[in-house]
Chains A and B, each alone.
Chain A
């Protein structure tokens, strides 16, 4: 096998290449800084591969088209930023309740509203979890390097298909626009999970009936399995229901299919954590600053470490609990006023002192800033 050739790639390029490697064969989107490059790359690649690409009239339409395409058997993706992400929330809820696999990339920028279009922020973390109305589980992944952009996009597609759910890739302006030298695996080396299809004759297909996995099999439209898809709470046949004895098990299954796999879904990366007295818990571009602060601090004899969160939701509770146990202090840097630090405090449960370091000036947190902060709180 040929050794992967190093390339200088932008984060948005790596996301696009990851999508293609994972089998993405449908894209509908609407241009928005800082995610437009993904839409542009997909408009170049998909037609040449014989797959559909469309620039829709807005973000609502983009996610709607992705849901339709996914129901018709495609691996669909859209990419947007904050304002578009807000518009997509209703259809995101639809994809969650109707259990439609798809990947939604949100490259975070400053907000709310038009905010800081070309500046970095991490303000959509809680929106990615709670943005749509009603309660539902969410899977949200967050890369910090160009290489992780590729890997986590592949993972997003795989988890979307495995769990029959929308998966959000939460990038940020720095990671998406940054160029780094990366060596990507050859397409044949990428593990791709395919959608489970019904194996019974159409007359025996009960669309939302599940086996022990709690995850129903999804027949593609036009394959002979005629069934109903709705955003209303539905029974096993897909027909609307309000009967408590059908509604309650429906929600239990919707949550259960994710919660029983928490251990698989909690993705973190530890850096110099073993003997660390002070630990940074960071994600996205901010993890880069935290890692640099650990390096610089260690050179001066400070026992620093970092836990990078690669999955934000479900919140990686167990690894975070472990990272907090026995430390002197934890510092959570983020480009918002405390969206993940609140979660860390929630799971900390008296283990250690947890401080947040929030910043919203449109610029990255620097390693100096973090080291200075540690000096202040000493």
Chain B
């Protein structure tokens, strides 16, 4: 099951904050492990989902640490490849992973 399939009212906020492109995702777990707010989790297949949208500050770190360009923070661009920066996207380039990164989480989902 792809996390992007059929947005329901419950996960609409999640889709708005982080877009996942499962075709490119290799389920490495970087985004989940390094989310400073632990807002991301895994679905039953190991794909990332925005488990707790309330905690997500759209800091953009998961996007930067994703080696596969498989997720996008902020409003999803109309189409991948659109050159313009969509209005309202919030990315904090000064976010320091050293400052924000959590201690290693137990490997619940067996990543890596």
Asked whether any CB of A lies within 8 Å of a CB of B in the complex, the reply is: no
